Chains A and B, each alone.
Chain A
Amino acid sequence: MRLRRHAAPLVLSLTAVLLTGCGQGDREAGPTRTPAALTTPEATVTAPVVPPGSAVTDAATPTTSPGETDAAGLVVPAETAGDLDSRSVPQAPDLGRGWQRYVDPGDVAEGYTGNGSWVRARGAGEVVQAIVPLGCVGLTAPPTLPVPEHALEATYRGPAEAPGVALALDFADKRLASAFLTGVAQIARACTRPSAAVGPGDPLTVVVEPVRLAATTVLDRRREYGVGASEWLWSEVVVQQGARVGLLILASPRSAHEPDLVRLSKRLRATLPR
């Protein structure tokens, strides 16, 4: 279920502060130059980043993907979402050698069905909840992210059957897309390494190591520790282009060569022409 909320002036002020420096280009090579508001050390994310008047989601309510209903009453997601289609996400060769499209059959027990394609529409509210990592030590309260108008997911398989996922999010305007990216950057900063070592029997903890936190680009790598930790190293690229945001996360064996995040960010940005 979606809710329309009018954010408080405080939120507006905060957003303005957070967006300071958003005009900073992020295509330059070398060390990332990040706005001051995004680099406050040891920040704990508790504040929303939703601009006033924007749509947010009821964070406790799952939403279904847009699509047709099958004979069993399950929603089969469409292959497009608004103006988003398979051209709005990276093509498999863009990801590097060995990557291919993957037709996710779905998993009804997990709450979604497949549509026979490598791309599928996602519930715009649901996807905003789902991108938040679980188990970040500094993420006492996840930021309330703006909800896009449309969301499209693509799935891939790479070398050693490594999974990969891309999301294309289409927002009502550039301001919301920018706020979304700001929230993603906040989340990345919050997922710091715990002060104490995480043992193999401890609850699952995600550590995000930011590589670049710029106005329109977030590059990071993720590792999981504790019970059920993923065997993969995850490399994430998030870029904003106008009213669109693209997210790409690729797994690779921990011992393997890590993907070139800057190259991936350029490829991803190229799929967001709007």
Chain B
Amino acid sequence: MLGLDRRTRRRTGLDQFEGRFGGERRPARGTLITLLLACATLITLDYHGGPDSPLEPARAAVGEVLGPIESATSTAVRPFVAIPDWFHSQSSLRGDVAALEAENSALRRQLETSGLDTQRLAEYDALAKAQRDSGYQLVPARVIAMGPSQAFSRTVTIDAGSDDGITADETVLNNDGLVGRVLRTTTTTATVLLILDADSTVGGRIGSNLEVGFLNGQGKLGQDGNLLLDLVDDSLIPSRDDVVVTWGSQGGAPYVAGIPIGRVTSVMSSPRETSQQAVIEPFVDFGALDLVGVVVPAGTPGNRSLEAAR
């Protein structure tokens, strides 16, 4: 295509002038090489830097600037994107919605159709109830940005940050179950790594027999958005519909204990590794993630926390 293009190109007088004197080609190549080297430098710096990479300050600075803009954009578009939600859900989640609707009580359905505000109130109530059940202080927040699937990592931005008492490595949940953990914060926003991410590992416990294992994300969203559970005890076979909850870490970071994650949908055995792998369908609908809560230590100052609100 390039060769053909060069032959048939109709150039204007000035372009010919530039082309003849090499005024265009050479600098372009020079710029290209400079920029490629800059990219290589950035990648190297960030790759070897790990958590305290020299690019973290740059990330924080860009986050401080773009975070509020993302927040404002999200607030502006929310009323409009809520309209089609009344009529249909996102295509890949229709199956889930059908199953959920069958499960939901008539009362819940009435609530959903009686107005957006009623539904929001119900969400907040459920969150507050989740907090009473789990015994942690929650900071409510909304999802304002989602990383694209083309990035192959599953992260979202929420509209609460260090000003609201959120720090890195805190559990994020919603009223269905575990969402993920906080990776980094700016003053007004926080980046959350979803449990679906291929790099995410959560310690899980099977509700029926208290066996522990590790849940790994697959990096997929939608109908294939499942987690794989590897049990520590290989001899154990999880049964279908067993509920998996978080195992919990010391000091509640990054994951507090007892948060429901999902249920077992199938079990795969691999004879080569003589271990059982269970496929876990998360309770949380990650495609329609909106209101979430961040678990913060009790007594954290901040004007958002549900403790302070009540």
Q: Do A and B come from one complex?
A: no
- Where the two chains meet, the residues of A that have a C-beta atom closer than 8 Å to any C-beta of B are none
- Where the two chains meet, the residues of B that have a C-beta atom closer than 8 Å to any C-beta of A are none
